[in-house]
A and B are shown apart, each in its own frame.
Chain A
Amino acid sequence: MTTSPTIYDEVRNGMLPAHIYNDAEIFERERRNLFSRAWLFVGHESEIPQPGDYVVRKVLDDSFIVVRDEKGEIRAHFNMCLHRGMQVCRAEMGNASHFRCPYHGWSYRNDGRIVGLPFHQEAYGGEEGFSRKGARLLPAPNLDTYNGLIFISMDPDAPSLPDYLGDFAFFLDFYTKQSAAGIELRGPQRWRVNANWKIGAENFAGDMYHTPQTHTSVVEIGLFREPKAEKRKDGNTYWAGNGGGTTYKLPPGTLEERLRYVGYPDDMIERMKQTWSQEQLDVIGDNGFMISAASVFPNMSLVHNWPKVEDGDDVLPFISLRTWVPISECETEVYSWFAVAADAPEEFKELSYKAYLMCFGSTGMFEQDDVENWVSLTNTAKGAMARRLLLNSRMGMLKDGSPVVEPLGDDEWAGPGVAHVGYGEYNQRHLLERWADYVEADAPEPQRPIGLGGVRLTPSAAAAAAAGDCATGDSCDAGTAAGDGAVDTEGVTA
């Protein structure tokens, strides 16, 4: 069937055609128009601390080797040999100075440049037939980092990562920069769920309303002190830049008392005070809100909670990062990492890890009940009736579009963006409005070639190379900080 153009209008109106959660045609549009253009989180620098350390991560069907090269630069190489297309790396993580294709033995340095090509002279007539100079594994079209978080975009013409994240970077710092040392990640746990990828992203972005119902059991067993219905609606949901999240309202007190309330020790609090801006500190100390779950459009989520991990009254905070990697319209691979301040005390790291395992991830007691809901929703969205049902996603909005609760004023919210106290689906609507904008518009063809190897150069790239520009046509914008653009135009010497 043809996708009705009104789907996107309905979504923008907060009424969601239920089949968007299980529709092969829409998934194809997401693949073509959204995941081909957006910035996607693939990992963190702390996962590859040493030269040669690598992890292999996927962007939909495309496998990338995310590696720290011998000079310490973070790179992402398309994991496909230039010759016959074999994966040059079939492990998931490790350390390598070179990647050698098992098929015919072509090998590449960990910065992507080709270094070995068996029988180069006999088989190709040497450089005449296949020029190794400048030949390399295809780089990711675009790569950048923020606080060590590594993002890839398949669009070489994508806006810069800072522009893309916008004001949400203010909130990313709460999770990923609690001190100058940044965070370290462990994991990920990976597992597949029979649910559409959007559901989790929406849930983490703004669904405070589900907490008292879905997560009743974790309150009953004393794991979590907070998510009683009364408490949850005192928090706010905020949207800023290209992401949004939820908060809890903290009891009265100073900044230090409030950070202690969620379980941070004094030395970590001291480092937060040295690291965060006054506005960031004011969100907690003055406004009394503590960040909880959040999502960055389209499919990265974060969570910060503070459960009880031992008998007694003490709570311990943890941070988790994750991506909802789409496999199909009805299947998602979850990558869930534990994150902790790199310079946190060892005992804190241990108990924070414990807190993560008890709450989120493959065994987490919060997470278990969430996924059951999302699988059920996805199953039900497949049928004919789901094409006749518009799901009401207008919570927090009156019929005329005005808000049920006015946004917090400047004296109540020191952060950027717009924040509303109480239950609402503002953030889910923000997320899906962006989704509609991307998915509805056919993505333009990228303006620049991504790269090539061997038989050199399209005419435009040849001209660029002659001008001493970016020889292989990969991203060479100034300002792509960890950028993949620095191609050694002197080529391979080995």
Chain B
Amino acid sequence: MTFVGAELSAESVLNRGATQARKVGPSLSFGDARHLELSRWLVEEAYTLDDQRYEDWLATIADDVHYLMPVRVTTALGAGYTTSPGMAHWDENKYSLSRRVARFLTEHAWTEDPPSRLRHYVTNVRTFETDVEGELIVDSAVLLFRSRSDTNPASILSAQREDVLRCTEDGYVLARRVIMIDESVLRTQNLAIFL
């Protein structure tokens, strides 16, 4: 089901003035310099998250970010919604993301000690101009492979992301991310990772 990130973000009670940028026009040519630059941004981010270099990751996130992953629900065709009203897995601002990162930097975040082996596969990237000056929207599909311990079955998370990336003097920063996870019941022990 297609979704509009601005709408889902606006529906959240925790959207505190995050950007409301929406796509304008068709996706940019794959040869467009902006598409190439943002594709690179996503790939660099994937390596950063795989390596769990979360302070570096946080530095690429805007102060007014809205980082949202609604709970998906199975609804009848035509119901008009596939997300749980008023409930998300992540509904984060910069402060709560910074607490999550700070926790991983303590020596007592047991769930990631030993750390998971992570691989973020990013594909199906397309870039759009938006109705907000200096902001572009990038869609991508992400598949996270997460292996813990020696023989526990690995967990896999599949999602579509709609990101708003804002051009700043220091390069692009993530101003909004809406993650549409493809499962209603997650098959991973927790979300002590980021997508």
Q: What are 28 pairs between A and B in contact, CB < 8 Å? A: A90-B76, A91-B74, A91-B79, A96-B76, A186-B85, A190-B186, A191-B186, A191-B188, A192-B185, A194-B152, A217-B103, A221-B103, A221-B106, A338-B87, A353-B14, A353-B86, A353-B91, A354-B91, A357-B92, A362-B186, A363-B89, A363-B100, A364-B190, A368-B109, A369-B108, A371-B189, A375-B189, A379-B152
Are the CB atoms of A189 and B87 closer together than 8 Å?
Answer: yes
Shortest distance from the beta carbon of B146 to any chain A beta carbon, whole Å:
13
* B111 contact set on A, CB distance < 8 A: 368-369, 371-372
B75 at the interface (CB under 8 A from A): yes
A interface SS class? mixed
> Which of A191, A214, A358 lies in contact with B185, CB distance below 8 A?
A191
B190: nearest chain-A partner, CB-CB: A368
- In the complex the two chains form, what is the Cα distance from A223 to B14 in whole Å? 18
Are the CB atoms of B191 and A349 closer together than 8 Å?
Answer: no
Are the CB atoms of A353 and B13 closer together than 8 Å?
Answer: yes
Query: Which B residues are closer than 8 A to A by beta carbons?
Result: 13-14, 71, 73-76, 79, 84-92, 95-96, 99-100, 102-103, 106, 108-111, 149, 152, 184-192
- In the complex the two chains form, what is the Cα distance from A420 to B192 in whole Å? 35
B80: nearest chain-A partner, CB-CB: A94
Most buried by B among A188, A191, A195, A371: A191
Given contacts A357-B91, A369-B110, contact A93 B190 (CB under 8 A): no
* B186 contact set on A, CB distance < 8 A: 189-192, 362
- In the complex the two chains form, what is the Cα distance from A353 to B90 in whole Å? 11
A216 at the interface (CB under 8 A from B): yes
- In the complex the two chains form, what is the Cα distance from A91 to B184 in whole Å? 11
Shortest distance from the beta carbon of A362 to any chain B beta carbon, whole Å:
5
Are the CB atoms of A187 and B71 closer together than 8 Å?
Answer: yes
Are the CB atoms of B73 and A93 closer together than 8 Å?
Answer: yes
- In the complex the two chains form, what is the Cα distance from A361 to B189 in whole Å? 11
* B79 contact set on A, CB distance < 8 A: 91, 94
* B109 contact set on A, CB distance < 8 A: 217, 368-369
Interface string of A323-360 (1 = CB under 8 A from B): 00000000001000010000000100110011001100
Are the CB atoms of A94 and B76 closer together than 8 Å?
Answer: yes
Shortest distance from the beta carbon of A63 to any chain B beta carbon, whole Å:
12
Are the CB atoms of B103 and A187 closer together than 8 Å?
Answer: no
Are the CB atoms of A220 and B108 closer together than 8 Å?
Answer: yes
* A379 contact set on B, CB distance < 8 A: 149, 152
* A346 contact set on B, CB distance < 8 A: 13
> Which of B13, B74, B106 lies in contact with A92, CB distance below 8 A?
B74
Given contacts A91-B75, A191-B185, A353-B91, contact A365 B99 (CB under 8 A): yes
Are the CB atoms of A90 and B74 closer together than 8 Å?
Answer: yes
- In the complex the two chains form, what is the Cα distance from A186 to B14 in whole Å? 14
* B149 contact set on A, CB distance < 8 A: 379
A309 at the interface (CB under 8 A from B): yes
Shortest distance from the beta carbon of A213 to any chain B beta carbon, whole Å:
9
Shortest distance from the beta carbon of A493 to any chain B beta carbon, whole Å:
26
* A368 contact set on B, CB distance < 8 A: 109, 111, 190-192
